A and B are shown apart, each in its own frame.
Chain A
Amino acid sequence: MKKTITLTLNGDARSVDVETTETLLAVLRNKLGVKSPKCGCDQGECGACTVLLNGKSVRSCLIFSVEVDGQEVVTLEGLSHNGPTPLQQAFIDRSAFQCGYCAPGVILSATELLTVNPHPTQTEVQEAIAGNLCRCTGYESLIEAILAASRE
């Protein structure tokens, strides 16, 4: 069944026709041209599809797009309107990511963390990104980058 939804996506008002069965992830990628949220498992397990919904990190593969009508969605593309955020710069400076497929999810999870808890402990950092699976880095570089950003 078709519906039209409107949402604020990375600061822009967007309107799009969706099927009720379509996930937010699918609509972002296939209908709204936003490619940073990735499909790594489609079951809410890997965190690659993470977006910020009204400021909170959520799994866009477990949300039907109709649920976000009238709400605010931020993806990785939306963070750097005015250049890289300090957190993004910390990831760049650390050369933190290897393949980069988990990066959008990790960065958004860490963005949320530093918003609510600007000076986290290492354990808090680990907890914050525990839902974002990374097969490349062993997480060491990711944790270092987030802690470095928190010291800015």
Chain B
Amino acid sequence: MAVAREFEYFRPETLEHSISLLGEYGENARVLAGGTDMALKIKQGVETPKAVVDIKGISELERLESTDNGLHLGALVTFSQVMASGLVAANFPLLRDAAATVGSVGIRNRATLVGSLCSAVPSLDIGPALLVHEAVVLTRSAGGTRKTGINKWFTGPKQCALEPGELVTGIVVPLPPGKAGGCYVKRGRYAGKDPAQAGVGILAMEKNDYRVAFCAVGPVAKRAPSIETCLHGQELTDPLIKAAQALVPQEISPITDIRASKAYRTLIIKVMLERGLKTAVSRLKGKPSAHGAIWI
């Protein structure tokens, strides 16, 4: 594929330099990290930047470390790094499980979590996990730094709260308040790499506290507050699950597209919710080794 439109390529080595380039070029600049999405868009002419700012020379964006209140994932942390991280495995297995459902090894070796947050597709696999963990997106521009709650980050299909001149420097993922069991349930057209037809991420916590988030069943990945309220404080039973399932239609707004019909998305997301809740609770209750996303 020959790229029809030329661009200037920059590889700043400091955050300051990258910010000044983004400020200088504004709307005409695009940030390049893993490139699995951005390079394709540029090749296809979907994006036609004048300046491509490759941030892979900025070593401080490579940080994957624990902080006082959780986990810091720099903008250059790839899906493969998340999957390989002992830190993530120990404290955020849900994050690792969701990351493992993204693309394939050759994509995950390059693609960054932050990049996928900026792509903000409705089927974002990592979306539900970050939502239930109440992650915070860190951005920086010439005007300073900004923190955005993940629930405010996705503003529409392939749209996010990133502003021109701004760079996402990382994500902070807080630790759950106590013990937690997580589960990501994904339905693709097959077991191989595929954008989700529907996805649900669940975090079951002590005192029967539950967090639930969906992807691919609406314009953006989102939490399901009415379902969480319904579940809150109650032992998970079949009647409770049924009650929660009944609330699904009001939490989602699925469309019919080439990957699935609205009717099918509506059908399976209920099944996925049930299986996800049961698995999350069983993991909370002491099956920490039984990890992995559920494919249905």
* A contact set with B: CB distance below 8 Å: 1, 3, 19-23, 42-44, 47, 50, 56-59, 61-64, 66-67, 69, 105, 109, 112-113, 127-128, 130-132
Contact = CB atoms under 8 A, between A and B. Distances in A.
Classify the interface of chain A: helix, strand, loop or mixed.
mixed
Given A44-B36, A127-B105, A131-B106, A23 B43 contact: yes
B36 A3 contact: no
Interface residues on B, range: 20 to 34
B32 A21 contact: no
A151 to B, nearest CB: 21
Contacts of A1: 6-9
Q: Which of B2, B9, B43, B54 has the most CB of A within 10 A?
A: B9
B110 A19 contact: no
Contact of A21 (B6, B40, B54, B192): B6
Contacts of A44: 36, 40, 106-107
Contacts of A57: 105-106, 109
Contact of A19 (B6, B32, B40, B43): B6
Of B56, B107, B192, the most chain A CB neighbours within 10 A belong to B107
B104 A62 contact: no
Contacts of B6: 1, 19-21
Contact of A43 (B40, B52, B80, B193): B40
A35 B118 CA distance: 34
Interface in B1-54: 1-3, 5-9, 11, 32, 35-36, 39-40, 42-43, 52, 54
Interface of B: 1-3, 5-9, 11, 32, 35-36, 39-40, 42-43, 52, 54, 56, 80, 103-107, 109-110, 192-193
Contacts of A109: 105-106
Nearest to A60: B106
Contact of B105 (A61, A64, A112): A112
A62 B1 contact: no
Contacts, number: 87
Given A20-B6, A47-B106, A131-B104, A67 B54 contact: yes
Nearest to B192: A130
Given A20-B7, A130-B193, A42 B110 contact: no
Contact of B110 (A3, A62, A64): A62
A56 B36 CA distance: 15
Q: Which of A42, A58, A61 has the most CB of B within 10 A?
A: A58
17 contacts: A1-B7, A19-B6, A20-B9, A21-B2, A21-B5, A21-B42, A22-B3, A44-B106, A58-B109, A58-B110, A61-B1, A64-B9, A67-B54, A109-B105, A130-B105, A130-B192, A131-B105
B227 to A, nearest CB: 32
